[in-house]
Chain A
Amino acid sequence: MPRWGMVIDVKRCIACWSCTIACKEEHFLPPGVFFNRVLIGETGKFPSSSKLIYPILCNHCSDAACVEACPTGATYVREDGIVAVDDEKCVGCRACLVSCPYQQRTYYDQKVKDREYFPGQGKTEMELIGEKLYPLKVGTVIKCNFCAERVDDGMKKGLKPGEDEDATPACANACPVNARIFGDLDDPDSEISRLIMEKKGKQLRKEFGTEPAVYYID
């Protein structure tokens, strides 16, 4: 069984936000809800300062704080490492929201559902059809699921996640500069394992001790 993970190459990344927006389209997320974001800042002093860009998403931690915090077992780690939420079991207590050290979870309530991209002008056809294509359950917590639907459907078709786009998370496909590489962390020959090894991939705030499956290289 693979363990899915992602490498984000911050040297390649140009902060175009494609990952963020493509994710929103993929999951028909309402305004203000993001499974992917880009943190932008800088370090150093003029004239030796440099820009910092960190695209972030759920780290799909193997020792996830959210899983530990969930009282109903709704949040769980799948066998392939993806941290998922079973919306039938989620009661919306939001303990996971508080516990996630990476702030990657959103509580989806009626107010969030009612948001419109063009406020006061009604939902667009895209927003309406999105509610059917990718129904989100009111009163539950939602988050990045590494596009588990794409991964699962793709694998059923015999496709390889990370190589075949139809089996790969939308954010990785959307990146115009190949800064997001998806693959199997448990396969030492996978591209991501090789990149982590060669470029000394780092997990974000490793000291939290949750063992993220997202690595950064520069």
Chain B
Amino acid sequence: MTYKTDEIWEDKWVNTTCGVCYCGCAARVRVVNGVPVKIEGISESTMGGTGSGLCGKGTAGLMYYHDPNRIKKPLRRTNPEKGIGVDPKWKEIEWEEALDEIATRMKKIMEDDPNKILFTNQTMRASDGPHNHPYFYAQAYGVKNNGNFIIGGGSLHCGNAAHMLGGLIHGAWSIAPDWRYTKYVLKWGSSKGTGSGHSAMTNARLRADAVRRGIHEVVFDPMGNFAGGKATEWVAILPGTDTAVGLAIANYILNTRGEIDELYLKAKTNFVYLIREDGTFIRDEKSDKPLVFDSKEGKIKEFDDKSIAYEDFALYGDYEYKGEKVRPCFMALKEHLKQFTPEWASEISTVPVGTILKVAKNWVDNAQIGSTITIEGKTFPYRPVSSVTFRGAQGHSNGIHQVAAIDLMSQLVGAEDVPGGTMGWPSKRRKYPGGQYERMPRIGKDGVLIPAVFYSHDPWPVHIPSVPCDNNGCVNFWTHCTLSHIPYVKERDYIHEKFGMGSKPEMIFGIAANFIISNSDWDVAVENFKDCFVVQNDLWVNETDQAIGDIILPDVSYLEKDCWSSEIDAFFFSGSPSNEDWYVHMQQPVAKPIGESRFFMDVYIDVAHRVGVLDKFNESLNNYYGITDEELKIKPGEYLNWKQIGERFMKWVYGDDKEKVEKQGFATWHKPIEDVYWRWNTESRCPVYMEFLIHDRRAVDKIIEDTGFELEMDLDQYTPMPSWFVPTSYKELDNEYDLLAFSYRDILHTNNTTFQNPYVDEVSKMCPYTFTITLNATLAKERGMKDGDIIWLENKYGIKENGIVKTMEAQSPKVVGISGQGGLWADGRPIAKGKGSNFCKLLPSYLRHYDPITGNIETAVAVKIYKD
């Protein structure tokens, strides 16, 4: 067999960025006679796997271009009735008609109240591209803040607590082990390095090398599959109970073993800040700065007083300040942790006492407190232990405490952003040599890092909860939400009424979010959003579009996209978290847009122009990139499409190398070692003692009393130290609803879009777990269930879902596993239709099912299981 070449007039490779998940790996595409035929990674770039490696779903990404089910013209609903199972009776319309109707409606709403417009965004790049721009695009319309966003993709299962702490501790969106130098890794409900999480293939490549080097990796997870199945040691744990084990380990480190990195705690955390008996900081009356005790001079001083050497900050002791008894908050932590014994944690989590103690001992033994390492001629503290979490552990109604407890063990041994420890993706983006665009974090109030970039909502400084609320998500009250949960909550209207939010949403505009089926109870989502006029830019008609969409605009896939900006601001979770240079990739079109599809950024610009807010958007773009060169700025009255904007802005970002960068499709420049391991080069302190939650609690109590708000919320979670709170799902367990269903990310799938990819579909069918419902083998036997049986899962509210049983040994006998967002039904995606089971619909959407602080949804649910 040979390649036949006589009919080939074009055979080329085009460099771009993969768009199948949010990781943005380097990718190049072979194009023959204008047809994309193969995708692989780019050997010259560290964005992604080894050499030209790319994961399976990335390799399968070609099908986004070839799918005949892509919409090719704007669609308009003609059936005014909305809902699941209702035929929208689509009619193809012209772009002009679609955009005119959208703009006309928007203008009318804006005359009344722009906060009646909601924007959707999502977390993968098949359609998305410039991640951050949609947020300030919304601001051009007068939308005030992140409360008017609805997220698709991973929805509220993913992120709010992890991102909040990632921001506060690392100035980054996400965390990962420093695979290059670590020796002992704990993963909690996270598959970093084994296929999921940010920079998935970069991490997988680094992890594979680390595994070969001989690291020990312990995975705490309800199932031993993607992460646990590859770990040195998989430890079965019940969902949402990681806090208990984390606190028991912290107690061992601090109180049993007593080996901590005192210098780190004194220099890099707020544990030295003095607190009163009520737990609040004492502050200098004039400067409002928290106070500390200088043990050398025996004086109370401001925390950033340069006369105090790191070693002289007091972690212990009782002092007096203006007649009040005060002490470092570290003392409170030490006492607080004593209650969390391994026996207690074992009872809650099902993790054996011996395992907890063994892991705790190995953690301290491997931390090498006091050791240093010299890399590239620079010496750093060396702490080769890392504790990381993401979607699984943090996605609970106690999410903030889960993440804080998992972080605490790293804090105690100083293993944060130093070689071998837990890394936030570097919080800095230095200028490209010869370019102008740079983003550096700042040090904010109380010495806490303010990330250089953060999507939607800065985690610092914090804001006290207040009412009235002026946005759909009520983020005036729920101030720590990266994206708010309130739009999905069943009692949304009650909350709006009580908290004075008078703007009933009238329109939704955005990008391919499938928010009806990807968060929680579908019926609640339909009820909450069906009265809005819904416009989405999408590749297909997805479930949300079919249920409630009014106008669906055909978007380009990443293979047709010309997006100069796609990775520029992703440095704080994309690229390499380790000691590797900066890489920034562009999305370059490898084929012409399908049908009449248009890149959503160009549609956004067109709509902004029609509505009359384009100048505002352009001005915010100029400001965002910090452009001072008048020739490069977008001028008032100018209408440029995204590519034309890139022509100017690329000059600003890359200087004289603009053309070189465009030609090779990516830019790379050196990342100094101090920017990789930046912790000791930045004068910031981790707010591990979350004192702000005490003030939040007081404000929340007052608002609740003043407004007569009666919905159940676990307000005790507003407490400054990580503590154990029972996730809502456990409160719904009883003799009938006796199992906890949970979901997990399959390496083959990104939320639900990949279900429509026929390459992915056919290998999913060969994977035993992807399209099935997993049960522990012994549990299944007890229930009379076996592989291949169809079973039902039903929650306490009568919502049910069925699927095919696959038994496995490596799963806790108290849980039921479903791989994400299957169970799809949109007519516009026939490959996806009917595949797998949908977990999200089983999640109840009452306010009590959400983390009261960060807005994460409780991603476990009490269910009963039965056969037909």
Interface of A toward B, CB cutoff 8 Å: 9, 11-12, 14-18, 20-22, 24-26, 28, 31-32, 37-38, 40-42, 44-47, 49-51, 53, 87, 117-118, 121-122, 124-126, 129-130, 132-136, 145, 149, 165, 173-179
Given contacts A17-B767, A133-B37, could you give 17 more A-B pairs where the C-beta distance is less than 8 Å?
Answer: A12-B212, A14-B204, A14-B226, A16-B747, A18-B53, A31-B762, A42-B810, A117-B759, A118-B69, A118-B830, A121-B68, A129-B37, A165-B51, A175-B50, A176-B204, A177-B205, A178-B50
Tally of B interface residues using CB under 8 Å: 75
Q: Hey, which chain B residues are within 8 Å of A49, CB to CB?
A: 224, 808-810
From the candidates A20, A21, A126, A173, name the one contacting B51 in the complex (CB within 8 A). A173
A87 to B2 CA separation, bound complex (whole angstroms): 11
Cβ of B197 to closest chain A Cβ, rounded Å: 12
Asked if A15 contacts B747 (CB within 8 A), the reply is yes
Q: Name the 10 nearest CB pairs between A and B, nearest first.
A: A176-B49, A51-B229, A176-B53, A17-B56, A49-B809, A177-B208, A124-B66, A178-B50, A12-B208, A117-B758
Closest to A27 in B: B1
Chain A proximity mask over B811-836: 1 for CB below 8 Å, otherwise 0: 10100000000000000001100000
Question: Which of B194, B758, B831 makes the CB contact (< 8 A) with A14?
Answer: B194
- What residues on A are CB-neighbors of B49 within 8 Å? 18, 175-178
Q: How far is the CA of A51 from the CA of B232 in the complex (A)?
A: 11
A98 to chain B, nearest CB (A): 22
**Closest approach, in angstroms, between the C-beta of A151 and any C-beta of chain B?**
13
Instruction: Give bound CA distance, A117 to B758, whole Å.
Output: 6
Give B784-810 interface residues, CB cut-off 8 Å to A. Answer: 808-810
**A178 and B38 form a contact (CB under 8 A):** no
Q: Is A22 a contact partner of B40 (Cβ separation < 8 A)?
A: yes
CA distance A145 to B1 in the complex (A): 10
In whole angstroms, how far apart are the Cα atoms of A46 and B222 in the complex? Answer: 12
A178 touches B205 (CB 8 A): yes
Q: Say whether B229 contacts A50, CB under 8 Å.
A: yes
B225 at interface, CB cutoff 8 A:
yes
Contact B37 A126 (CB under 8 A): yes
Instruction: Collect the chain B residues with CB atoms within 8 Å of residue A121's CB.
Output: 68-69
Segment at the A interface, from B28-36, B84-92, B338-346, B510-518: B28-36
- B423 located at the interface, meaning its Cβ lies under 8 Å from any Cβ of chain A in the complex: no
- Taking a contact as CB atoms under 8 Å apart, the answer to whether B68 and A174 are in contact is no
Residue of A nearest to B764 (CB): A17
B44 to nearest A CB, angstroms? 11
Query: Is there an interface contact between A47 and B808, defined as CB atoms closer than 8 Å?
Result: no
User: Which of the 9-residue segments B57-65, B314-322, B495-503 touches chain A?
Assistant: B57-65
Residue from the list A44, A132, A149 in contact with B1, Cβ < 8 A: A149
The smallest C-beta distance from B837 to any residue of chain A, in angstroms, reads 19
Complex contact B67–A20 (CB within 8 A): no
Residues of chain B lying within 8 A (CB to CB) of residue A45: 809
Note all chain A residues with C-beta closer than 8 A to B52. Answer: 165, 173-174
Chain A residues near B475: list those with CB within 8 A.
none
Alpha-carbon separation in the docked complex, A53 to B229 (Å): 9
Check if A174 sits within 8 Å of B53, measured CB to CB.
Answer: yes
Complex CA gap A47/B235 in Å reads 8
CB nearest neighbor in A for B7: A132
With A14-B195, A16-B747, A20-B56 already in contact, the answer to whether A51 and B758 are too (CB < 8 A) is no
Which residues on the A side are within 8 Å of B69 (C-beta)? 118, 121
Give the residues from 53 to 101 in chain B that come closer than 8 angstroms, CB to CB, to chain A: 53-60, 62-63, 66-69
* A125→B35 contact, CB < 8 A: yes
* B39 CB within 8 Å of chain A: yes
Shortest CB-to-CB span from A134 to chain B, Å, is 7
Q: Say yes or no: A177 contacts B39, CB within 8 Å.
A: no
When chains A and B are docked, how far (Å) is the Cα of A125 from the Cα of B62? 11
Closest chain B residue to A130 by CB distance? B37
**B778 at interface, CB cutoff 8 A:** yes
CA distance A117 to B766 in the complex (A): 16
Closest Cβ of chain B to A180, distance in Å, is: 9
Is the Cβ of B56 less than 8 Å from the Cβ of A21? yes
Q: Contact at A21–B763, with CB atoms within 8 Å?
A: yes
Query: Do B37 and A42 touch (CB < 8 A)?
Result: no
B68 CB contact (under 8 Å) in A21, A124, A173 = A124
Complex-state Cα separation, A197 to B267, whole angstroms: 49
A153 CB to nearest B CB, Å: 9
Q: B611 at the A/B interface (Cβ < 8 Å)?
A: no
For B62, the chain A residues whose CB sits under 8 A away are 25, 126
- How distant is B782 from chain A, measured CB to nearest CB, in Å? 13
Interface: B236 (CB within 8 A): yes
Q: In whole angstroms, what is the CA distance A145 to B66 when docked?
A: 27
Inter-chain contacts of A132 with B (CB < 8 A):
4, 7
Q: Contacts A32-B762, A118-B831 given: A175-B211 contact, CB under 8 Å?
A: no
In Å, the complex CA distance between A88 and B36 comes to: 30
Interface status of B719 (Cβ within 8 A of chain A): no
Looking at A17, A20, A50, A175, which has the most chain B CB atoms within 10 Å of its CB? A17
Residue-wise, chain B 749-787 has the 8 Å CB interface mask toward A (1 for contact) of: 000000000111011001111000000111000000000
Q: How far is the CA of A111 from the CA of B228 in the complex (A)?
A: 41
Closest to A142 in B: B1
**Once the chains are docked, how many angstroms separate the CA of A9 from the CA of B758?**
28
> Can you name 11 A-B residue pairings with CB atoms under 8 Å?
A14-B208, A14-B230, A17-B56, A18-B55, A18-B58, A21-B56, A46-B810, A51-B228, A118-B69, A126-B37, A174-B40
Given that A133-B3, A165-B52 are contacting pairs, would A22 and B59 also be in contact in the complex, using a CB cutoff of 8 Å?
yes
Interface string of B649-678 (1 = CB under 8 A from A): 000000000000000000000000000000
> Quick check: B758 and A16 within 8 Å, CB to CB?
no
Judge if B486 is at the interface, Cβ distance under 8 Å. no
CB neighbours (8 Å) of A173 from chain B are 40, 51-53
Question: Which residue of chain B has its CB nearest to the CB of A25?
Answer: B38
Q: Which A residues are in CB contact (< 8 Å) with B230?
A: 14, 51
State whether the Cβ of B689 lies closer than 8 Å to any Cβ in chain A: no
- Chain A nearest CB: distance from B5 CB in Å? 8
If A126-B66, A176-B201 touch, does A12 touch B211 (CB 8 Å cutoff)?
yes
Residues of A within 8 A of B35 (CB): 125-126, 129
The docked-state distance in angstroms from the alpha carbon of A46 to that of B37 is 44
Say yes or no: A16-B212 contact (C-beta < 8 A), given A134-B3, A174-B52.
Answer: no
- The answer to whether A46 and B747 touch (CB under 8 A), given A16-B56, A25-B38, is no
Which residues on the B side are within 8 Å of A125 (C-beta)?
Answer: 35, 66
Contact call B205/A26, Cβ cutoff below 8 A:
no
Instruction: Give the residues in chain B near A149, CB-CB below 8 Å.
Output: 1-3
> Do A178 and B809 have beta carbons less than 8 Å apart?
no
Judged by a CB distance under 8 angstroms, whether B41 is at the interface is: yes
Question: How far apart sit A117 and B768, CA to CA, in the bound complex (Å)?
Answer: 21
A20 to B33, CA, bound (A): 25
In the complex, which residue of chain A has the Cβ closest to the Cβ of B808?
Answer: A42
